């Protein structure tokens, strides 16, 4: 039997309409996201990724993106017998209509592998359900190459 998602019937699927929160973390404005600011969780990597996503949106690979902060998109996983929630860094809609869970990660340790394995199961369930389009996971090891990676993913998925 194929995996199927478990839905929260009290919350709209895929909406950023209710994202509003205060933070003391550094933020910077966006133009190609549904949310007007990106919250910086790291010193440079996620800010650099958001900058590259903005460029990719302007140059045609990306339709839009959103930093997954206060969206409620979390994926349960188990690591060393303890339940956790994985919160992917970004959600990206490619120009061809496909969606990416985008993770910015320098090195993958065992816990990151557990997160990504759970994300792949989540993607399988969402894709089996079929009502949210086609999803995939992309782990970017270097934000400086993200725009080229997105263009490559777009070309590869349109074949």
The per-residue pLDDT for range 69-123, each reduced to its tens digit, is 877 888 999 999 999 999 999 999 999 999 999 999 888 899 999 999 999 999 9
126 pLDDT tier (thresholds 50, 70, 90): very high
How far apart, in whole angstroms, are the C-alpha atoms of residue 1 and residue 70?
32
The per-residue pLDDT for range 28-76, each reduced to its tens digit, is 777 767 667 677 766 688 888 888 998 888 888 999 888 888 778 889 9
Q: Token pair of 141, please?
A: 């090891």
Report pLDDT for 159. 47
Domain ranges of the chain: 27-157
Report pLDDT for 106. 80
16 pLDDT tier (thresholds 50, 70, 90): low
pLDDT at residue 20 greater than cutoff 70 = no
DSSP code string of 67-130: E-SSS---EEEEETTEEEEE--SEEEEETTS-EEEEEE-SS--HHHHHHHHHHHHHHHHHHHH-
Mean pLDDT, the chain, whole residue set: 84
- The CATH number of the domain covering residues in 27-157: 3.40.1350
């Amino acid at each position: 039997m194929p995996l199927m998602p478990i839905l929260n019937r009290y919350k709209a699927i895929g909406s950023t309409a209710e994202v509003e929160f205060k933070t003391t973390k550094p933020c910077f404005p966006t133009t190609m996201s549904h949310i007007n600011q990106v919250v910086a969780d790291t010193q440079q990597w996620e800010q650099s990724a958001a900058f590259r996503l903005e460029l990719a949106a302007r140059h045609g690979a990306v339709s839009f993106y959103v930093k997954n902060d206060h969206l409620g998109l979390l994926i349960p996983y188990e690591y060393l017998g303890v339940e956790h929630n994985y919160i992917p860094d970004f959600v990206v809609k490619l120009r061809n209509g496909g969606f990416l869970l985008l993770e910015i990660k320098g090195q993958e340790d065992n816990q990151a592998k557990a997160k990504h394995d759970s994300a792949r199961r989540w993607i399988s369930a969402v894709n089996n359900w079929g009502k949210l389009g086609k999803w995939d996971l992309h782990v970017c090891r270097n934000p400086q190459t993200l725009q080229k990676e997105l263009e490559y993913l777009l070309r590869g998925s349109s074949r």
